[in-house]
Structure 1
Amino acid sequence: MILYPRLTEDTYTIGVTAPSSGVPEELHPLLQQAEEKMKRNGKTMVFGQTAWKQDKARSASALERAQEFNDMMRDDSVDLIIPPWGGELLIETLEHIHFDDLPSKWVLGYSDTSLLLLTTTLQTGIATAHGTNLVDLRGEESDLTTSRWIDVLTTEKGGAVTQYSSDYYQKEWDFENPTPHIFHLTESTEWKTVTGAPVQVEGRLLGGCIDVVRHLVGTPFDRVDNFQQEYIGSEPVLWYFENCQLSTTDLRRTLTQMKLAGWFNHISGILFGRSPANHPVGNYEVLDVYQELADELDVPIIYDIDCGHVPPQLTIVNGAYAKVSVQNGAGTFVQKFKP
């Protein structure tokens, strides 16, 4: 049975800790702007020490990062946790996190944070939220896709929430010309399928940034089979992945390793987010990867969805039951908070 945290008050408290990268001093204004925005919206912010530090590709030692996360999860005055952003070395913290006694509390983020999210859900059955990070909430307003994180996290157990594909996405950052909602949404969004035909697929959501979640394979935290048996029974998994930096051959190797490790033994489909990477190797393109995977697994594959490092992105709940449909380039993403 999946446990769903829930925000119930408009004046909730957000805990900010950095289990991967913190914010170096020269970028502290980004955190301060996010804090000011949240305070204007009636939220209380509690910052851990790790949020303000960064050295040697991490905010602090693995033990310090894990301890601060453990403490913030157990702090009843903190209603949800949103790290500043992702990073590189969150995997170091996993052996120090007390998964056996974590309370049911929302953790929201993406990139390296997605490794913590997926591990938490696999280990505990507690739902976690893949979506915006904190610094991208510092604008005067949020775009219609990003802003739905609040609707998702306030959904009741047994309830459902529907999100839709964005109208436009950001091709590249333009830091010299900030917008009221942070992102520069200039390109028309189009969700696609390998077959080119309309697709509808449903299953229990699991996933994250493939660059980092792949490193769970073969570790004590690789509990995909156990998760299916203990928490969702006979229901299939609907995987979602987004690629931050991998070439097409590295992506293919990773997906093959996941397949050989049994991650795709009982699935209904795979969703791939838009990617700033997917760099071709020779004439081996990412569409070749998707087609080969679809043929091997005999499941539908949807790609270029609103997920990951090419904003904006949906808020996707690990453990929720989803129905995803794509037709004429537009997508509908329904999540039911089914136990």
Structure 2
Amino acid sequence: MIQYPALRHRTLGVTAPSSGVPKVLHEMFRLACQRMEERGFRVVCGDTVWTQYKAKSADAKQRADEFNRMIRDQETTIIIPPWGGELLIEMLEYVDFKGLQPKWVLGYSDTSLLLLALTLQTGIATAHGTNLVDLRGELVDETTAMWEQVVTTTTGASIVQHSSKRYQKEWNHENPSPCVFHLTEQTEWKTITGDDVHIEGRLLGGCIDVIRHIIGTPFGDIAKFQKEHIHDEPIVWYFENCELTTTDVRRTLVQMKLAGWFENCSGILFGRSAANKEVGGYTIEDVYRDLQDELQIPIVYDVDCGHVPPQITFVNGAYAEVQVSKGKGTVIQHFKA
């Protein structure tokens, strides 16, 4: 079964299991904390938040120890890292996954590796969505803002999210926006055939760059998770690409297939990406088409997920219904045990 955390009170723990905040950006990040306090949260930052050296906030054991303390703290009911990074995988072996009480962990990018491992190891639902730093604006766009409604959904209830109206093509830090993002481009969720698509199943996923590294490890045992926690219900995977070329995405998807990750998979969602660089004429659409031909399941792409904001909040472990029609998408997540 899947356990869904309850946001009993509004104490937010901030720890950096991957990258911390360099000193030059401390004031910017304090603004994000201030905005959360204005929204009624009590914010408690760990030591790792304020340090960054050699591509990580601290050594692996220190990062894990702080996370272990924070997730067991009775006052803290949600944990949101500042952002992702590069080397979260170093700290996984030191995370104490045993006997955890359900508590929300929210984020994306490198943080998605911790989210997926946590759900696979424990059956506790985790939330793939905004990073804390992206909540520093005076306003929050309607797609991103849904994170709070998602994490306040109760077990047995459902939450509906819709595709965004517009997305951000590129960052423009010289011209700050009241909601951080500059949403200028028309959003369109696409399918390989152009036909309408309906997919159902348990959600799992994250940033493909990093979650691929737990294939074949105890942290990535999909078969065990299917048997012990979702009783062999179908899986709907969602992926987003930060930096991989099309051929690297293809290699990774083939590895996932060979490792059994797509057994009893009912469909796959791919987020928009500014990467997806074609190699020798092999485009990302070719990758998606090849995968659909092999697996004979629906593939949806350019969804609101990942490094091209805004993004829907996907809950690892939730039972989802995904409907795509005429470029628009609807995701209904049922908090089904």
Q: TM-score, normalised by structure 1?
A: 0.99
1:263 partner SS:
coil
Mapped to 1, the partners of 2:216 and 2:267 lie a distance apart of 22
Question: Which runs of at least 4 in structure 1 moved beyond 6 Å after TM superposition?
Answer: none
Query: What CA deviation, in whole Å up to 9, does each residue of 1:122-154 have, x standing for no partner?
Result: 000000000000000010010000000000000
1:45 partner SS:
strand
Which moved further from structure 2: 325-334 or 30-39?
A: 30-39
- Which letter maps to 1:250? D
Structure 1 residue 41: deviation in Å? 1.6
Mapped to 2, the partners of 1:332 and 1:210 lie a distance apart of 22
* Contact 1:276–1:310 under 8 Å retained in 2: yes
Aligned match for 1:42, one of 40, 43, 54 = 40
* Contact 1:164–1:333 under 8 Å retained in 2: yes
- Matched with 2:181 is 183
* Contact 1:192–1:304 under 8 Å retained in 2: yes
1:324 partner SS:
strand
2:146 partner SS:
helix
Mapped to 1, the partners of 2:261 and 2:100 lie a distance apart of 25
1:232 partner SS:
coil
Which moved further from structure 2: 303-312 or 96-105?
A: 96-105
Mapped to 2, the partners of 1:146 and 1:71 lie a distance apart of 28
Q: Which residues of 2 match residues 163-178 of structure 1 at below 5 A?
A: 163-178=161-176
Q: TM-score, normalised by structure 2?
A: 0.99
Aligned residues: 337
* Contact 2:8–2:77 under 8 Å retained in 1: no
- Which letter maps to 1:127? A
Q: Where does structure 1 lack aligned partners over 5 or more consecutive residues? A: none
2:118 partner SS:
helix
Mapped to 2, the partners of 1:38 and 1:287 lie a distance apart of 39
Structure 1 residue 71: deviation in Å? 0.1
Structure 1 residue 35: deviation in Å? 1.3
Q: CA RMSD in A?
A: 0.6
Query: What CA deviation, in whole Å up to 9, does each residue of 1:193-242 have, x standing for no partner?
Result: 01110001010000000000000111121210000000111310000000
- Matched with 2:6 is 6
Aligned match for 1:27, one of 1, 12, 25 = 25
- Matched with 2:333 is 335
Structure 1 residue 79: deviation in Å? 1.2
- Matched with 2:210 is 212
- Matched with 2:61 is 63
Query: What CA deviation, in whole Å up to 9, does each residue of 1:304-326 have, x standing for no partner?
Result: 00000000000000000000011
2:40 partner SS:
coil
Aligned match for 2:112, one of 105, 111, 114 = 114
Structure 1 residue 8: deviation in Å? 3.7
Which moved further from structure 2: 103-112 or 33-42?
A: 33-42
The sequence identity of aligned pairs, in percent, is 64
Mapped to 1, the partners of 2:250 and 2:120 lie a distance apart of 24
2:229 partner SS:
helix
Aligned match for 1:74, one of 72, 89, 114 = 72
Q: Which residues of 2 match residues 197-208 of structure 1 at below 5 A?
A: 197-208=195-206
Mapped to 2, the partners of 1:28 and 1:234 lie a distance apart of 45
- Matched with 2:256 is 258
- Which letter maps to 1:286? I
- Matched with 1:127 is 125
2:83 partner SS:
coil
Query: What CA deviation, in whole Å up to 9, does each residue of 1:10-64 have, x standing for no partner?
Result: xx01000000000000000121101111111221000000000000000000000
- Which letter maps to 2:4? Y
- Matched with 1:96 is 94
Aligned match for 1:221, one of 216, 219, 222 = 219
Mapped to 2, the partners of 1:284 and 1:316 lie a distance apart of 29
Q: 1:231 and 2:233 equivalent?
A: no
- Which letter maps to 2:316? N
Q: 1:324 and 2:322 equivalent?
A: yes
- Which letter maps to 2:170? E
Mapped to 2, the partners of 1:8 and 1:34 lie a distance apart of 22
- Which letter maps to 1:289? V
1:303 partner SS:
strand
Structure 1 residue 101: deviation in Å? 2.5
Mapped to 1, the partners of 2:127 and 2:288 lie a distance apart of 25
Mapped to 2, the partners of 1:16 and 1:225 lie a distance apart of 32
* Contact 1:70–1:102 under 8 Å retained in 2: no
Query: What CA deviation, in whole Å up to 9, does each residue of 1:245-265 have, x standing for no partner?
Result: 000000000000000000001
